[in-house]
Structures are given as structure tokens and as C-alpha cells.
Structure 1
Amino acid sequence: MSEFTATWIGGSSGPTHTGSGTQNNFISPESLTKNASGQTPRAVARSELIWLDRHFIEPEGYPDAYDTLVGRRTVLLDGANGDGRHATARCLLHRLPPGGGALHEILLEREEGSSLLLDPEVVADDDRLLLDLAASGERLGAAALDELSAFRKAVEERGAGLVVVLPAEARHLLTPQLNDLRREISRPPERELELSIIGRHLRYAGRDPRGVERLPPDVMAYLGTAPRLSDVATFAQYLCDAAHRAGTFTEQCALALKGLQEQPRLAVETLRTIRKGAPRALLITTAMLSGARADAVHKGAAMLLDDRQASPHMRYLLERRSLADRLGAIKAEIGPAGLARFESIGYDSAVRIQVWENFPDLRDPLRNWVARVLSLPGLTDGNRDQLVERFAEQCLSTNDATTLLDLAKHWASPESGTPPLTRLRGAAHALEYGLNSSRCGGEFRHKIYEWATRPVAAPFRKVLVGVCAETMTVRHPEAALVRLHHLARREPPSAEARNALIALVREDHRLHRRMLNRLARGLESGGWAADTELFLDLAAPEQLGNPGIRAHPLIAESGVRNDLLVCWTAVLRAPADEQWTTLAEAWLEAACGDPHAADRFLDLLVTACDRRGDRLGVLYRVTRDWSARQPAGQGVASELPSVLLRKMRASPHVRVTPQQEATAP
């Protein structure tokens, strides 16, 4: 995955040709998913979890829930909607000792080869698992709870941790054993939690957290209505942003509260008041590109009006009001560094919502406009990412996943040559936003699976590989593994999906085990040639014999050895010995270096020959030639051919072969 060679300049939109001759830009799938700061989704997810842990305020019942998780490795989290059960679950898992395990969300989807919603095989040593049933529906939630006991057993055996977020009013679905693991969280009394959230936001924004002691009466009255904690966090963030826009702390509080409560109504009034196309175009463009340079906003508004086809007279241009005046008419301004923004905090979001909900005929034109605006030279990568996210947010607000999915594929389609980098990045970020949606994520995963099982154009394949390897793996690595495997089976020699899959599997014992099982099933059925190459890459003895932080290595597991045997048996049937010789020699070297694993490695090779004299003879020859190349004095290596021959003769799997068939001495 290291094919990206390009020169970057400031906020440029893509690779720059800096020399003579033909320009060849190689774009790696990973680069398409990076944000404007160069972070991959996995790095962003880690940062977000750390941020959440720093800002998290423990609700009532948290200590009891934590003690249950530590002592029994599973806790079922109950509470009212809006009281932060999901955030509490993530912090519980993040703080669970000894640390080091990845945090994974469990999908309530039956993947290939499994009839279970909760497959115990997905549980790895020291894993951190989150099962959110809050929005699953009673039927699916009940089915998951039925399978929970067997799943919990694997969690306990492997020293993992599991937090289940229960749906509202789900107590009647719990058995007595599960009810014993249920712990309820709730808000502390007297607005303690809300004030703590605001104080912590102020502290991490570099402001005096004692400001919560000076909150004006209207803010205290709002907090007294017990708003959702996510709304309280939004208010706290608005309050931090208001420091750059208002004078006194009281004025900043008023601006933040207005942004939270009044902007939807003001957006409706503005759209009702402004009737002409030009100011409305500017209003919509500013809402979609808030934070971009003002001249880029001006060009974007012209594109929305399709001014490219017009030829205005010079007099009209000279008599037109200044950009600052026109921005002022829609309650916007040119702020520091020439960046356009609305005067009120939260107004851009309110405008986007109102336009999408109340002007449905504008949705298709806006979709086409977004694709064109992505190529504006005045935009930074951050502006483009925000534009895609803001459009995606509106699509999914009306459950219109299809529009966003079709748009992502269209942006990455090579209609006339290779799509520009800006469109490929836009496609990747659109899919990323959809995958992270709690309502539509399943639809996006299903569609990506459908695409992965069919031939796709090279640019779109890069997008899919990047999204699976960097975005889907954050919360659903098993689903990412399945899709990358299908992409790897169907890709040309570029091997992008294969490289991404190998990198993903090698860093996780659980995924390594599952991948070997998939390869065994594929090779046993005589399927894809790519599966042989993947096996030869993933059966390296250092990966199989190194336990890492686990109690035992993979090759010590009987299920893994069975899968290795199936794979080796299929590979040894191939007529080309050179295809597997390198791996076989690596196994021979491992057998010399680790006496505990020697029998496992050698016995697997002998048994995989499937009682065929010709294969046994070739294996013996490979062993003899390898041994002869080793430095003198290595007794174990020199004795290995004899050890292997004894195993061949003693193996119950080896039949007696006619003299003319045998090639081993």
C-alpha cells in the first residue's frame, strides 16, 4: 500500500506535475481516506476516543457498571434515552484494564459462513466489544440476547470485555442470569452532569472552567429542562467557539444558546424573506462552504446559478454590490483570513436543514453542484471534506442512502480518463460518512459487499479498498475482511486489495484465524487462484508461531491446524513446485528454530501430501536441498531430512507406494 508518489503544495487539490515528460501519479487507496490533516480514519477514531475519555463525566451508576465489567467481563447497560449510554459504554471499554485491546462494535448481521448473529469466533484475547441494541428493534434485539450466553463464555475465556447497550424497556427480554449483569445509569441530580460537561469543554479549549459558576439564568433554565447530553455538548462547543465572536462571557453564552435554540426558526424566516435566486444561491453556498475563502464561496454561488453560461455586461459587473454587502444581506460576513461565515453560530447547519427539507426540487441540482464545486481551486482539502460531509448529512437525514451511494460511485467512475483526486477523495469520504451512520451504516456495508463481489473499474476499486481497509475496520473489522477478500480475488496485478488485506490480518490474531478459515473453505472447493497467493503470504511461520500478547500461538489451536492442513493439501496438488517452495522452506527453518513447534510444522506438511508418493518425494527433495544449503555445523538442519523421512514412514496417512512411484530414498 505504498504506491503514492506525488508532490503536494499547500492546499492544492491533487498531485502536481513538477518536471518534464509524462506525469504518472500513483494514488494509494489509503491516501483517499485521509482527512485534511493527513490522518486516516483509524487514527481519527483513536483521537476521538481519547477526546471522549477526557471530556467524559461519569453518570450515576458508573462505578457499579465498571466493577461489573472488570469482575465478570460483561455488563448490560440500561438507562433513559439521551443519558449517554453509548458514550458510557465506549469509556467503560476504553478504561478496562490491562488495556491494549482494540474497541470493536459487533454487527447484528450474519456474515458469510455463519448462521449466528453473535459468533464466538469473533472474540479475540483482550478484546473490547460493544454491542449496541438501542436501535436494533425488539425482534433483532431478542434474537441477539438469546445468543448472548454462549457469546459471553468466549468473552470470559479469552479475557475480553463486553458492554451491551440495552434498548429502552428491554428488561422483559432478559433471563435471570442476564438481568444479574444489568446496571442502570442516570444523570446526577441538580444539573451536576450538565455543568461538568460544559466545564470540561471550557478547560480543554484553554478557557477558565470556573465559567460554569457564572452561567446566566437563561442558560440555567435551559439546563433545567434535562436536554439530551449530546445537545449539552453542542452548547458547550458553541460556547467555546463564541469566544472569538462576542465580548463578555454573558454575551458568549447568549450567542451559543441562540445558536442551539433559535437558528432553525431564523433560517426559515430568511428563506421566506429572500426570494431572488442570486441571494438564495449565496445563502446555500455559504451554508455548504462555511469556513472556506470568500472568493471560493462567490464562485460556488455562481456555479449554482450556472453563471458559466452567462455573459454579463461590464456595466452590470461594476454596478453589482460588493461581496461583503451581499454576504451581509444574508447575515454573513468575511471573517479573519478572508473566510466566509454566518454571523450567528449554528446558522449554517440550520440553513442546510431547511433547504433540504423544504426545497426537495433542489436536491438533484445540489448533487450535481457538489460534484462541480469539489474541483474549485480556491478550496482546501478540509473545505472539500466538509462539503461532502454536509451534503451526506442531508441525504441521510431523509434516509436517502441510495443517492449518496450512487454519487460516490459516479465520482469515481472513469467517464473520460482517470477521475481527479478531488473526486476520488470525495467518493471515499461520502462512503465513510455513510458507514459511520447509525441508521444507514448497514445499507452502506451491504452495497459495498455487492460492489466487492463484482468487477469494478480501477479508480473505484481504490476507493473501496481504502474505505474497507481504513474506515470499516475501525468498528467492523470482520466485515472489512470479507469485502477486502472479495476485492482481492477479482483484482488485476495491482494487488492493492491483497496488500491491504494482508496488512489488516497480520496485525490481529483473530482476523488471521478467520482469514485462514476462509482460505481453507475457498481452496477446498477449488475456487480462486488469488486464495493460493494469499495463503502463501499469510502462512508465514513467524506469524503462526509467535503468540504476541496471547497465551499461545495460532498454530497451537486445533482449528487453525485443520485450516492449514486443508490449504497445504490444496496447494501441494498444484503441479508448480516453485509456487510453494519458499513457504515450505520457511516452515523447515521454523522447525529447526523452535523444538516445541517442530512437530506441528513437519506433521502438517507430511499429512498435507495426502498419501501421494509424488508429493512426498518432492517435499523430501525440497527439504534435502534446503538442508544442504545451510551453513556447516547446524546439526538440526542437517538432520531434518532424516527426521522428515521417519515421519513420512510413521505417518498413518501415508500409504505404501509402488517402487516406480516413490521418489524419496
Structure 2
Amino acid sequence: MSEHISTRVENPYAPMHTGSGDLYVTIGTQLQDPDRPTFRRLADDHLSWLKRVLVDPAGMGAARHKLTDTGTVILDGPPGSGRTSVARVLLREYDLGTGVFHELLPDEEEELSLSNPVLVGTGDRLLLDLSAATAVQWAAARADLSALRKTVHEQHAHLVVVMPYGHPLDPDLQHYRIKIECPDGLQVFRRHLRMHGVPYEPDSTVTAFLAEARPMREIADFADLVRRARETAGAGEGFAQWCATARKARDDRRAEIATLIAKLREGPQRALLITVAMLHGAHADVIHQAVQLLLHTLESPPEEQPLLERKDLAERLSEISATTGPDGHVHFTELDYDAAVRAHFWDHMPDLRQPLGTWGARSVESRGPYVTQELRASLVKRLAEQYLRTGRGEGLAFLAEDWSITPTSRPRLEAAVHALTCGLNDPVQGRSFRQWIYQCCANRQLKGEFAQVLVQVCADVIAVSHPDQALFRLYHLARRERDTTRALEALCDLVATSGRLRRRLLDLLTRSPLSPAELRIFLPVCDPEPLSAPYDNGHALIEENGARESLTSGWRAVFKELPHAEWHPYAERWLHTATDAGHRGDLLLNLLVSAADRCDDQRGTTFAALYTSARTAERTAPHGTARAATTTDRLLQKISTAQGLGRPAVPPPTTSTGGSTP
């Protein structure tokens, strides 16, 4: 995905961009369903599972103490020792309800330098995973680690660094280094079995498997295979048979699958084999319907044999080593046979890849009592695995985009989100997906409902571990949307989780002149309640010089560029908040007056409009008109001071925003 990405115009179902300037896109409604999957919850569930199955390696206790005492720990250990899992679990244990989790990516686009203090918010939990870093990348990170650690300490945050194994560490950082050793493989295996609800028994297959040094990931995968072998085992089979079945599933089956497919010469036979592999575990009715859909997608000629003379499904399944269970669901007779079949067709019939994408989109839209959300998700995951396994991430990304083009449906849009989620979570190609999504959000012409898909991916997937990257992407989507506010709402929800993120967005908005679209982002983002409420360090954003300058610049642009009727509701909220915000209320009023004072030739008119808003706000004040009138009086005094006048004896007229000034 590092190649040049061109824009493809195929079916013009949505507005097309043919000139300069922004393209405004409208996001549909299909994904705003209360039953849609919550990808943030899925990520949280995975982390909870990781904590339950983790066997504390040697050094875990020391790492906990080091993180508690200093706020920083640098984990060292051989590959496969579970270093990154340990890092994530350590940070999960320090989730005290303040700050956000943030995986630092110092060499990615839009990421700040590790030495930049803006990178760290109060109470944040920071992961810097450099386990796969090159010598050059590690040297660059080491140069900034002392500055990063200092900021972490000042912000009462927690930082876990996973260093590359065997690389040097500077003397002043050795104090934070903790060596992680591989935990006992059998203990790890038994812990995973216990979490799966599978009883353990001593077994020669397990002993032979663990005789070799295994990465923790391989041991976890083998335990999961034993679980699945148990679920599909016949009557009378026990732990030894489950383990033997799991071990066989790990064998290379390429020759076996190639021999089977060579015997299946008819299109319907191969279509059934592909369908069972892609929808493994689905009900027989779903399999039958999906086979017909695949044959139709491939434009295969219809079967001419009379219906009653055709082979029934049971006979056809037996030809491909599959069977239907008592519950009507279809499985291959051997464990993980489906994965081997999928890999064979993908690798050896490349012309089938594009039709499989089309068939996948049509399949997720199928209806019926046995078509579940889980079945749709598993189909997308299996298709995505083939793209990612063979290094074709860009193809998966464009497939998700194609699924989002109008006319579409909620299941198809959900499938697009699932596909991009698979790419983002891939340890090798995740970075390329984040970069591709950035280009889509910032620069690409978005057709159909693809913008809606991007909003959900940014808010529910990227934001889980990369909130700053999600912020930039949602900002660009919000800047370009019209007739909807879903990207803006997601952006506001994101900055509500962290004062640091709100500060960074305000800086982004006001570092250059604001466009009308950016002004409409600024107004809801500068909500006075979170601005004036103390956050984790006891201070409020409105008390910070940098934030006040950004807010003043933003309000000045609002006063100069937008009509009074548009900004009045937001000013009214500021005035209501100022009534009950103590000394920070004065800061809110000072800021509004300062912004109006910078309006040059519109200065007097703006002061009058601001005073009019204050008088109007008295009628809707939640704390009563008397207290609101006091706020109006305070505002009037500040306006008079800004104009070099004493306290006016008579308030100015309020019937017109263009009248005389106080």
C-alpha cells in the first residue's frame, strides 16, 4: 500500500468532484443502528481476555513495582516471551478512569516527536512498542526517551516501552529496564485451556509439542485448536484424541487439498467446497443458498438435470469431506480443513479473487433465520485473512470501499467496517491501512456511504489505541461533511475523553485562518463546560495560555465570519456557564470580550451583538434571571473597560445587533 494511490471513478452514484476546493459528502443512516457491533467494546473484551490468560513471566512483579514507583518501565526480553502482552496488561492495570490509552508511533505521519510534551496528557497510559524496531529507529527513540519520561512524570501518566531484544540502552535509562523471561510453556497451555473450559490431562502429544521452544502465540493457538477439536469430537473421544486432532490440524495440507480439488472437476462441486470453507459452521440452508449465489456470480450455466435426479446435499458434502451435524450446521470432517481449502483456492486460482469479493458482499446481505451477525463477520474475516496473508492489503482496502458505494445496505456497510478493522489490526499492514484511511479522509473523493464507514472505523477502531490519529481523520471528515453532523459528533465525543485531545484540536483549528466549515467545528468543540471544568491535574483548559489564545482566535473568526444568529446559541451557553463557574466564569467572559475586541472595523458591532446575546440569555438561564443579569452586568463592565470607558450609566439598546455600542 505504499504505491501511488489513484482515484477510480466507476459508478457515479454519488456527487463527483470535478474542480478545486472541498468535496462535501453526505453520510447515510444505515450504520446508525443500535444493534451494530461496538468495535471499541470488542477491543476492550480482547484486552480483558489477555489479562485473564496471561501467566506472569519472571520479571512481571518487578515491572509492576517499577511502573508504580517511577511511572515508566522498559521491558526487555526475547521474542516470543509475551513482552507486548505484558505491556498491555500492565497499562490496563493502571486504568484509573483518567486519561486515555495511547500507542505511540513516532515514525508515522501526523505523529508528534517523542520529546514533544503535547504528546502526553494527565493520567494517560502510553505504550511505545519498539520490539521490531531497527537499530536506526531504536537510536532515534532512545534520544527522546529521557524527555518523554520527564513529561510522563510531570503528567502523572504511565509509560511502558518494549525495547528491541539485544539492542543497547543508555546508562541513564538502565534504571527503568526490566528483563522479561519466557513463562513455563505447560503453565501457559493449561491456563488457556482453563479459560476455554477444557480440563487438562497429561498427554504425550502436548509434551512433544512443548519440547520445542515456542512463542507464547503458538502455545495459545494450539490450546485454541484443542478447544475446537473438543467441540467437534465424536462420542467417546477424550483429551488425548483432542490433542492429536489439534496437532494434525497444524500439518501442511497443501498436497492433500490439491489432490482433492484435482478430483473435483465440476463447477458445482468446487463451488460447494469454496462455500463450505468460507462459511464453515453455517447452517445447511445458508450453504445451499450461498452456493447458488456463487455460481450466479461466476455466471456458471444452470444445472440441466431434473431436480429429483440431482445429488442431494448430503451426498455432495460427502464428496468434499464435509458433513451436516445434528443441528443442521455444516463442518468438514477434519479440523482446520477449511483454512487449507481457502488458502489453496486463493493461491492457485487468482482469477477467483475478485468474484469472491462480489460474492462476499452479496452473501452478507442474505436474509434468513440462520444468517446471523456473527456469520457475516466470520465470512468477512476469512476473506480479509486471504488478502492480508498474501500481502494484498490495498486490495482489501479498495474492496471495503467498493462495498460502501451506493446503493448499499447496513449489512454491507458493516462488512466494510469489519474488513477495514481486520486490516487495521494486522500487525504487519496496520500502519499502511492507517495511512490509506488518512488519505481517504483528507484528500480522496468519497462516494456513496464510504464516509460513514470511515467515521465508524476512526471512532471505534483507530481511536481505541491511536486517539490522535483518529482525531486528525475525523477532523478532515467533519470539515468535508454537509447535511449531517456524524463525523462532527464523533469528533466531539473523542475530545470529550481527554483535555489533551481537545487542546490539540483547538490548536489544529486555529493555527491558520478558519474556513466556514472549520468554524462550524470550532463552535461545538469549544463547549464551555469541559473548558472550565478542572481535569486530572486540577486545572481547567480555560486557565492555560495556549488554550486561551486558540479560543480567542477562534471566537474572533466566528464573530467576523458568521452571522449573529448562528453563533448566538453557543455564546448563550458560554454566558450560562459563566454564571456558575466561579472565577473561571470571569475567564470565559474575558475571552469573549477579548475576541470581540480584536474584530477591527467590526469591533463595535460585535460588542453590541455580544451584549444582545447576554440580555437574551437571561430569559433562558437555568439559574434564574437575577443571577444571569449579574453576569450580563459583569460582561458590560468588561466591554466598557475594553473600550476605555467607565461603567455606563445606561445600558445600550438591545433591539438590534447593529445598534450603538456601550
TM-score normalised to the size of structure 1?
A: 0.85
CA contact (8 A) 1:77 1:165 kept: yes
Paired with 1:427 and 1:68, the residues of 2 have a C-alpha distance of 42
**Which residue of 1 is the match for residue 92 of structure 2?**
94
Aligned AA (1:62): M
Tell whether the 8 Å contact from 2:229 to 2:246 is kept in structure 1 after alignment: yes
Cross-structure match for 2:29: 27
Give CA-to-partner distance per residue, 1:570-590, whole Å, 9 cap, x none. 112136222222222222222
Supply the distance in 2 between the matched residues of 1:255 and 1:386 (Cα, whole angstroms). Answer: 23
* Amino acid paired to 2:189: I
Counterpart selection for 1:46 from 44, 49, 59: 44
Q: Deviations over 1:113-136 (max 9, x none)?
A: x66366432322211111111234
Amino acid at match of 2:176: L
2:513 — aligned with what?
525
Residues 209-261 of structure 1: CA distance to partner in whole angstroms, max 9, x if unpaired? xx2xx231121011010122111111111222222333212111211222234
- In the superposition, relative to structure 1, how do residues 260 and 359 fare at CA in structure 2: closer, same or farther (>3 Å)? same
- The code of the aligned residue for 2:243 comes to C
Q: Deviations over 1:549-568 (max 9, x none)?
A: 44222212222111111111
Equivalent residue, structure 1, for 2:156: 159
Aligned position for 2:380 = 388
- Does the alignment pair 1:184 with 2:184? no
Letter in 1 for 2:568: T
- When residues 632 and 77 of structure 1 are mapped into structure 2, their CA distance, relative to the original with a 3 A threshold, is closer
Question: Structure 2 residue aligned with 1:408, among 390, 400, 405?
Answer: 400
Partners in 2 of 1:618 and 1:422 — Cα distance?
49
- 2:69 partner amino acid: G
Q: What's the CA shift for 1:357? A: 3.0
Name which of 503, 506, 513 aligns with 2:496: 506
In structure 2, the partner of 1:197 is 188
Determine whether 1:312 maps to 2:314.
no
| Aligned AA (1:462) | Q
Residue pairs, 1:213-362, within 5 angstroms: 214-246=201-233, 247-261=237-251, 263=253, 266-271=256-261, 274=264, 277-306=267-296, 309-315=300-306, 317-362=307-352
1: CA distance, partners of 2:274 / 2:84: 34
Q: Is the 8 A contact 1:607 1:653 kept in 2?
A: no
The answer as to whether partners of 1:603 and 1:647 remain within 8 angstroms in 2 is yes
Deviation at 1:336, TM superposition (A): 3.9
Relative distance call for 1:201 and 1:385 in structure 2 (3 A) is same
1:585 aligns with 2:572: yes
Matches within 5 A, 1:640-655: 640-651=631-642
1:399 aligns with one of 388, 391, 395: 391
Structure 2 CA distance, aligned partners of 1:505 and 1:168?
Answer: 36
Aligned equivalents of 1:617 and 1:377: distance in 2? 61
Q: How far, CA to CA, are the matches of 1:280 and 1:461 in structure 2? A: 37
Q: Normalized against structure 2, the TM-score is what?
A: 0.85
Aligned counterparts of 2:203 and 2:622: Cα–Cα separation in 1: 82
SS at match of 2:502: helix
8 A contact 1:263–1:346 mirrored in 2: no
**Deviations 1:596-635 (Å, cap 9, x if unpaired)?**
2132112111211235333223323433454577699866
* Shift in alpha-carbon separation, 1:309–1:400, aligned structure 2, 3 A: closer
- Matched letter for residue 399 of structure 1: G
1:398-450 CA-to-partner distances (Å, cap 9, x unmatched) read: 21112111111111112xxx213332222121111111112111221222222
Native 8 Å contact 1:405 1:444 kept in 2:
yes
Q: Name whichever of 584-593 and 382-391 sits farther off.
A: 584-593
2:561 is paired with a residue whose SS is coil
Structure 1 residues 479 and 631: alpha-carbon distance in aligned structure 2, compared to 1, 3 A threshold: closer
Residues 345-385 of structure 1, C-alpha deviation per residue, up to 9 Å, x if partnerless?
Answer: 22212222233334434333433333343334353322221
Instruction: Tell me the distance in 2 between the aligned counterparts of 1:84 and 1:257.
Output: 22
Q: For residues 312-369 of structure 1, give each alpha carbon's deviation from its aligned partner in whole angstroms, at most 9, with x where no partner exists.
A: 3334x44443322322232221124211111222221222223333443433343333
Residue 565 (structure 1) aligned with residue 552 (structure 2): yes
Displacement of 1:47 in angstroms is 1.0
Q: 1:259–1:237: structure 2 CA closer, same or farther, 3 Å change rule?
A: same
Contact 1:57 1:197 in 2 (8 A): yes
| Cα pair 1:469 1:480 within 8 Å, conserved | yes
Distance 2:166 2:285 in 1: 53
1:614 counterpart = 2:605 = yes
Structure 1, unaligned runs of 5 or more: 1-24
- 1-side partners of 2:189 and 2:577: how far apart? 57
Structure 1 segment 420-431 matched on structure 2, within 5 A? 420-431=409-420
Once the two structures are superposed, the pairs formed by residues 36-75 of structure 1 within 5 Å of their partners are: 38-75=36-73
The CA deviation at 1:394 is 0.9
CA contact (8 A) 1:234 1:260 kept: no
Counterpart of 1:375 in structure 2 is 365
The answer to whether the 8 A contact 1:219-1:253 is kept is: yes
CA distance in 2, matches of 1:349, 1:579: 57
What does residue 453 of structure 2 align with? 463
Residues 65 and 183, structure 1, Cα contact 8 Å, conserved in 2: yes
* Cα displacement (A) at 1:89: 0.8
Question: Could you say what secondary structure the match of 1:180 adopts?
Answer: helix
Identity among equivalent pairs (%)? 38
Tell me, in whole angstroms, the C-alpha distance in 1 between the residues paired with 2:197 and 2:517.
53
Cα distance, 1:573–1:654 mapped onto 2, change above 3 Å: farther
The residue aligned with 2:16 is: none
> For residue 27 of structure 1, what is the amino acid of its counterpart?
T
Structure 2: runs of 5 or more not aligned: 1-26, 647-651, 653-657
